[in-house]
Amino acid sequence: MIILAIDTTTFTGSIALLKDTKLIAEVDIDSSSTYSERLLPAVDFLLKTNHLSIQNMDGFAVSVGPGSFTGIRIGLSTVKSFSYASGKPVAGVSTLKALAEKLRRSQAHLLCPLLDAKKGEIYAALFESKGDKLLEVIPQGVYSPDRFFSLLPSHRIISFIGNGVEVYRKKVFQYFKDKARLSHRSAFIAYEIGLLGYEMLKKKKGVSAEKLEPLYFRKSQAEESH
């Protein structure tokens, strides 16, 4: 199964091409230019370099959030257009789960993705790695840092990943001291989006373009101002 996976929910976007679970090629973008400027040229480069087209894809995987509202909209609209054009299904993958997946093959068992949600809040969850599964221990959502950290088991070693770690680094160590492990892995998650998407597509859990939905945990600024 050939899959094109896209992440535009974070400031460091990425695109990956997979054959089943094997990474064929990846484009990682850490740039000040907008996703509307860089996404399609990056996809075009990735496909042309591998002598493929959208029609050759067996399915698509895309991060549906939480994250940048603008990024989510651009990623979803782009992948929807690919799905319409090819007639192939899409797997919508949580950004938080993809970040946890990035750590799953480490020795860590408790994995905590943190994204800075601005306004003094974080998008966060706690996952437990058991065998080849990621179990959601504390639900994905938007939290105040103190509220979320108070829910975590402070007596166990927890691995943290995501841009919220740097923002709330002092608070993490304040709560978890020597039990906190801060990941130095990159924030690029298109490959992990592809891995999780592959499992969904394999189980026929992909959806058509019109059924693909974003994962928001709060309203955008534009919606809040109305």
Complete domains list, the chain, with CATH: 2-95+187-224 (3.30.420.40), 96-182 (3.30.420.40)
What is the DSSP code (8-state) at residue 211? G
Counting residues of the chain whose pLDDT is more than 90, the rounded percentage is 81
Average pLDDT over residues 118-125: 96
pLDDT surpasses 50 at 154? yes
Q: How confident is the model at residue 152 (pLDDT cuts 50, 70, 90)?
A: very high
- Is 60 exceeded by the pLDDT of residue 224? no
| Alpha-carbon gap, residue 171 to 11, rounded angstroms | 23
Q: For residues 158 and 178, what is the distance between their CA atoms, to the nearest angstrom? A: 10
> Would you state the pLDDT for residue 149?
98
Q: pLDDT tens across 52-77, in order?
A: 999 999 999 999 999 989 999 999 99
**Residue 161 clears pLDDT 50, i.e. is over it:** yes
For residue 90, what are the contacts with CB-CB under 8 A and spacing of at least 6? Answer: 59, 60, 61, 62, 79, 80, 83, 206, 207, 208, 209, 212
H/E segment holding residue 94: strand 90-94
With both helix axes pointing from N to C terminus, report the angle between 35-49 and 69-86 in degrees, rounded to the nearest 10.
Answer: 40
CA angle 189, 1, 47 (to 5 degrees): 65
pLDDT band with cut points at 50, 70 and 90 for residue 30: confident
- pLDDT band per the 50, 70, 90 thresholds, residue 105: confident
d(CA 125, CA 83): 29
pTM of the model: 0.93
pLDDT at 34 over 60: yes
pLDDT at 225 over 50: no
